[in-house]
């Protein structure tokens, strides 16, 4: 069977479905292809959303335990795993079902199947029943996402070695390999649900991309909920033994180099799904780490084909994918456009959350920029104290001469929501004076952004000593 469309979008994650929906809104006939029955991709089915549902449960459990310090004591929680699994599934189904409806309402043709390229203007889709359908297109957006990286030393065909897609169970002892986003987010969930969690990170610190002073706040808390955090440590071998996994570790912080765990979660990064069958029949080029190479419009070296999302590079985040989708589709619609963000926010949804955008202090230093850091400790925030969460920091990275905001970082409860203000400020070219002069509601954690700006001028109401370092 052969059909034709103006735009074919391959991959139905946050990049792909955003591209298809925007194209439809702009009046472009569009076919969206994905292996799942509904759009959603990794983010909705196996990534962002299920993990955040579990992190919410972990937060409620933690707060219930901590409430005894405020004179409110709850009984120890009883965990009904089946109900928890089904609630998580309900969240996923509601979201993917909603996307399915939005797709139909917009007149997007949704094809469930696996796509391969026949050339620069056609694709074949293998439908789950084994039949195929061929599709001619004027343009194509590749949005096939990424999958977990599994280095050789961590390859063990076993139900006891998990990646982040694994169905929820609560093992007695879990090893999380990788102290990045997934290791820390899912590690925290399992720790709250009752597992003894050990985190192994091969670099000298957790979350290598984030500023150390902010990571230190998360690390302190994680140390109190995890069994162990082993830095500078690598897993060199995994073997099944009895009902668990025997893990060989190398690093300065471990006395024993062989440990036994019930389950091992491997979260050491992701690799792009760039082995799209038929890609070699086009001029699309792969570059560093096999990411698809694109220009500012997200156009590949094959003019009819665009690529977005995890497939084209870091940061591998859903909101980066969906904004690239906008650039690609606008270019296809003939608009002048470029994907050139000044600030892409990053949020690690641990407890406390860690968020940053624009330049980090480490990056500013590495680039030889002249900058000042204005830091506001949450111990001085009334709102943080009412939440019993004074362990937080808000900091602004500022160019002193122009007072321009270059970057911002926050660690603390709800940091992920707060970072959006800094993104807007950076994108709008705001100065620290702008932030200082904007009235923020009291008592809120958002005031910490305004007060950090006051710190820059040595005039913070709640921080006594002038601080211009
Ligand atoms: P994907 O979401 O990966 O979607 C690609 C889709 O293409 C998939 O459905 C795949 O099946 C399909 N596909 C691939 N090849 C083909 C083919 N040949 N034919 C048809 N279909 C194909 N990001 C955040 O911003 N915030 C978070 O909180 C967050 N949490 C995460 C938690 C976890 C556990 C994980 C694993 C990731 C998380 N991410 C988060 C990252 C986020 O999921 C990705 O950045 C995002 O999904 C990338 O979107 P995408 O559209 O590029 O691709
Ligand atoms: P990651 O890149 O965040 O972290 C991987 C960590 O593993 C790094 O700290 C790295 O130094 C370490 N590492 C690498 N090899 C190792 C080894 N052999 N032994 C021990 N440590 C090793 O990757 P991830 O946690 O797998 O997540 C993948 C991506 O998914 C993230 O980079 C992010 O883009 C996305 N994600 C985002 C969120 C969010 O936005 N909240 C949540 C989850 C995932």
For residue 282, the number of C-alpha atoms closer than 13 Å in the C-beta half-sphere is 31
Q: Which two tokens stand for residue 452?
A: 């950090």
Q: Which residue has the tokens 């050139």?
A: 340
The Cα–Cα gap between 232 and 219 comes to 15
Closest ligand by atom to 34 CA: 1
**Distance of CA 437 from the midpoint of ligand 1 (Å):** 40
For residue 76, the surrounding DSSP H or E stretch is none
Cα distance between residue 466 and residue 455, in whole Å: 7
CA 444, 390, 208: angle at the middle one, nearest 5?
A: 100
Closest ligand to C-alpha of residue 272 is: 1
Query: Are 309 and 321 a contacting pair, CB within 8 Å?
Result: yes
The pLDDT of residue 256: 74
Residue in the structure block whose two tokens are 């091969």: 202
The answer to whether the CB of 411 falls within 8 A of the CB of 214 is: yes
Q: Residues 132, 136, 141, 142: is their CA dihedral positive or negative?
A: positive
Q: Is 323 in the pocket of ligand 1 (CB under 6 A)?
A: no
* Per-residue confidence (pLDDT) for residue 468, from 0 to 100: 52
Three-state secondary structure readout of 157-197: CCCCEECCCCCCCCCCEEEEECCCHHHHHHHHHHHHHCCEE
- Which of 20, 22, 40, 48, when mutated, tests ligand 1's pocket best, judged by the most ligand atoms within 8 Å of its CB? 48
Return the residue matching tokens 């970057």. Answer: 407
Cβ–ligand 1 contact at 178 (below 6 Å): no
Centre of ligand 2 to C-alpha 155, Å, is 17
CA gap 284, 141 in Å, rounded = 12
Chain-centroid distance, C-alpha 6:
31
3-class secondary structure, 62: helix
pLDDT at 401: 97
What is the CA(210)–ligand 1 centre distance, in A?
A: 22
Q: Is 317 in the pocket of ligand 1 (CB under 6 A)?
A: yes
Locate tokens 């906008």: which residue? 326
**Side by side, which strands form the sheet with 244-250?**
234-241, 244-250, 258-261
**Contact predicate 236/248, CB 8 Å:** yes
Half-sphere exposure of 128 (CA within 13 A, CB side): 7
- Give the pLDDT of residue 319: 98
Note the pLDDT of residue 466: 52
Q: Would you state the structure tokens that stand for residue 397, as one six-digit string?
A: 């990275």
- Considering the entire predicted model, what is its pTM? 0.97
| Number of residues that this document lists for the chain | 469
Weakly modelled stretches of the chain, pLDDT under 50: 467
What one-character DSSP code corresponds to residue 373? E
**Which of 160, 197, 424, 142 has its CA nearest to residue 307?**
142
Residue from 261, 197, 203, 256 nearest 231 by CA: 203
Question: Are 53 and 88 a contacting pair, CB within 8 Å?
Answer: yes
| 359 class by beta-carbon count within 10 Å (0-12 exposed, 13-18 middle, 19+ buried) | buried
**Cβ proximity of 179 and 206 under 8 Å:** yes
Look at strands 372-377 and 305-307 and give their pairing.
unpaired
| The predicted structure's pLDDT at residue 119 | 98
Q: Is 442 a catalytic residue?
A: yes
In the structure encoding, which two tokens stand for residue 290, read together?
């096999």
What atom of ligand 1 comes closest to residue 17's alpha carbon? Answer: 51
Residue 2 is predicted with a pLDDT of 84
Q: Specify the pLDDT at position 252.
A: 85
Q: Which residues contact 163 (CB under 8 A, 6 or more apart)?
A: 148, 150, 265, 266, 267
65-81: b (≥16 Cβ within 10 Å) or e: eeeeeeeeeeeeeeeee
- Measured between alpha carbons, how far is 24 from 33 in angstroms, rounded to an integer? 14
Residues 6+ apart with CB under 8 A from 342: 358, 426, 427
Cβ atoms of 433 and 445 closer than 8 Å: no
- Ligand 1 atom 36, closest CA: 47
Report whether 279 contacts 117 (CB < 8 A): yes
């Amino acid at each position: 069977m052969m059909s034709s469309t103006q735009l074919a979008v391959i991959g139905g994650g946050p990049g792909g479905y955003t591209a298809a929906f925007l194209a439809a809104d702009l009046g472009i006939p569009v076919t969206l292809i994905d292996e799942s029955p509904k759009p959603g991709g990794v983010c909705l089915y196996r990534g962002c959303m299920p993990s955040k549902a579990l992190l919410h449960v972990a937060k409620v459990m933690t707060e219930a335990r901590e409430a005894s310090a405020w004179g409110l004591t709850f009984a120890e929680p009883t965990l009904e795993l089946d109900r928890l699994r089904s609630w998580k599934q309900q969240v996923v189904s509601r979201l993917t079902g909603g996307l399915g409806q939005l797709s139909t309402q917009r007149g997007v043709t949704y094809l469930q199947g696996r796509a391969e390229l026949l050339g620069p203007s056609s694709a074949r889709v293998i439908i789950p029943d084994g039949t195929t359908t061929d599709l001619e297109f004027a343009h194509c957006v590749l949005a096939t996402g990424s999958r977990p990286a599994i280095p050789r030393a961590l390859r063990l065909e076993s139900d006891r070695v998990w990646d982040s897609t694994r169905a929820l169970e609560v093992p007695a002892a879990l090893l999380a390999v990788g102290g990045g986003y997934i290791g820390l987010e899912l590690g925290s969930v399992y720790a709250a649900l009752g597992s003894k969690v050990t985190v192994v990170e091969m670099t000298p610190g957790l979350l290598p991309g984030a500023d150390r002073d902010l990571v230190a706040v998360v690390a302190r808390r994680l140390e109190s909920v995890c069994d162990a955090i082993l830095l500078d440590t690598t897993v060199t071998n995994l073997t099944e033994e009895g009902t668990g996994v025997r893990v060989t570790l190398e690093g300065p912080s471990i006395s024993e180099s062989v440990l036994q765990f019930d389950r091992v979660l491997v979260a050491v990064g992701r690799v792009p799904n760039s082995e799209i069958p038929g890609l070699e029949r086009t001029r699309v080029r792969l570059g560093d780490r096999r990411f698809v190479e694109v220009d500012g419009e997200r156009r590949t070296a094959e003019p009819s084909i665009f690529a977005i999302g995890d497939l084209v590079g870091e940061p591998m985040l859903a909101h980066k994918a969906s904004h690239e989708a906008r650039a690609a589709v606008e270019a296809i619609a003939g608009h002048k456009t470029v994907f050139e963000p000044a600030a892409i926010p990053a949020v690690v949804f641990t407890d406390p959350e860690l968020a940053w955008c624009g330049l980090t202090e480490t990056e500013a230093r590495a680039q030889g920029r002249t900058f000042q850091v204005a830091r506001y400790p949450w111990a001085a925030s009334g709102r943080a104290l009412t939440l019993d969460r004074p362990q937080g920091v808000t900091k602004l990275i500022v160019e002193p001469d122009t007072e321009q905001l270059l970057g911002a970082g926050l660690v603390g409860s709800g940091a992920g929501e707060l970072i959006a203000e800094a993104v807007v400020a950076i994108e709008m070219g705001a100065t620290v004076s702008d932030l200082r002069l904007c009235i923020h509601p009291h008592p809120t954690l958002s005031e910490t952004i305004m007060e950090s700006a006051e710190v820059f001028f040595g005039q913070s109401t709640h921080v006594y000593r002038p601080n211009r370092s």
